[in-house]
Amino acid sequence: MKKGKLLPAERLIISIDASSKNEVISLCKKFSGKVSTIKIGLELIYSTGPAIVSTIRSFGYRVMLDAKLMDIPNTVSRASTAIANLDISALTIHTLGGRQMLVSAREAVEEQMKIKTIQKPLFFAVTILTSLDSGDLDSLGFRDGFLISVLGLSKIAVDSGMDGIICSPNEVEPVRKKLGSNFYIATPGIRLTGDETGDQKRINTPGQAISKGADFVIAGRSITTSVDIPGTIDMYLEEIDRSL
């Protein structure tokens, strides 16, 4: 996969955690076209329906659908093709579903897109959620800790032809060192210095994530709950730009 040069506005992905169409419209207006991509998840899709994708795209934004798909290969393949038909730009799928699931989903979407006039969405494989810490991993049976677990899952994702992975900003550098740069890395758990951590446990600043090799940083409530949303976006963009 050939990666193009990304501008700061393309590198910042804003996550919307909302349950109403009106709230989404209000936020899209407040973002003022300062970024390229909006990430939405299960809360919004289940609350408003898939038509919300078209609503967001009508403001000129791309859409990353954070579905974190994980099931048997056939189920995920069919779900992926259905989601791809919404004309999204990126889709998340969980690496823990295994190589066969990842490959089946990718191949099914590639085949579907051959007969469509829309571009295939980028597949981002989720490694370990940033809401988990070492104690959580240990209780789930991951005895090797974060780094080895994330590296192993990232290799499965890359070997399966995923366009990118999602990991915490703190694992970006070792992933790059081991697996190279021919894939995207998107990092949630991004906060400006002094922000509340919320339910994230493995966090860092946008500048640190980009300087360590991340392509995209994902920020949500730090921006969407700000009293000055455009100003906060500018702060993120300026820090990203300084780190390139």
As annotated, the active-site residues are 68
Please name which of 15, 22, 81 lies closest in space to residue 47, comparing C-alpha atoms. 22
Using an 8 Å Cβ cutoff, are 58 and 21 in contact? no
Distance CA 236, CA 221 (A): 13
CB 44 within 8 A of CB 52: yes
Is residue 153 helix, strand or coil?
A: helix
Q: Which parts of the chain are beta strand (E)?
A: 12-16, 37-40, 62-69, 90-94, 122-126, 164-166, 184-187, 216-219
Cβ atoms within 10 A of the Cβ of 141, count? Answer: 6
Cα-to-chain-centroid distance, residue 34: 18
d(CA 58, CA 29) in angstroms, rounded, equals 11
